[in-house]
Amino acid sequence: MTSVSAEAAEPGGPPAVVPAGERGATRIADRVVTKIASQAAREAVGRLPKDAARAYAHVVIRPQAAEGRTAEAARVRVHVELDYPTDIGSRCAAVRRRVVERVGALVGMEVPEVAVHVERLHPAPGQGAAQGRTR
């Protein structure tokens, strides 16, 4: 997409194109990236019991030099609750992949680091108090 400067264009001639470096930049607010990361984590975790807390995220956006230009990168810390029994490692990897994918697709921002903290494990449907205590 190119931007045209009205004052630089000659009357009757083709419009002048403003170079990308002179057009400005779009700044994405931290809270927007946080909401996207939280939603991505919820999508990756899947359904939990109704009394389970939702996944939430904390995002830190820092400038990062990339290929001779300044870009922004998001470092994300996600807190999730998972059902039990489950393969915790693969579920956390799925959360990481989903957060990187969604933030990259929706915001165009790199996510070099996603820390997943498992806050709580919930008995899977059909497990729990009805079957006794799990050891």
**What is the set of domains in the chain, with CATH numbers?**
28-124 (3.30.300)
Query: Which helix (H) or strand (E) is 49 found in, with range?
Result: none
**What single-letter amino acid sits at 18?**
V
Phi, psi of 99, deg, nearest 5:
-65, -45
79-108 in b/e form (b: 16+ CB < 10 A) is bbbbbeeeeeeebbebbbebbbebbeeebe
- Kindly report the pTM of this predicted structure: 0.68
CB-CB neighbours of 9 under 10 Å: 13
Residue 59 predicted with pLDDT over 90: no
Closest to 83 (Cα-Cα) out of 108, 120, 114: 120
Residues of the chain with pLDDT > 90, as a percent, come to: 22
Per-residue pLDDT, averaged over 42-58, amounts to 69
Mean pLDDT is lowest, of 12-16, 29-33, 54-58, 117-121, for 54-58
pLDDT confidence of residue 134: 54
For the chain, give percent helix, strand, coil, nearest 5.
30, 35, 35
pLDDT confidence of residue 63: 62
CA distance 82 to 70: 37
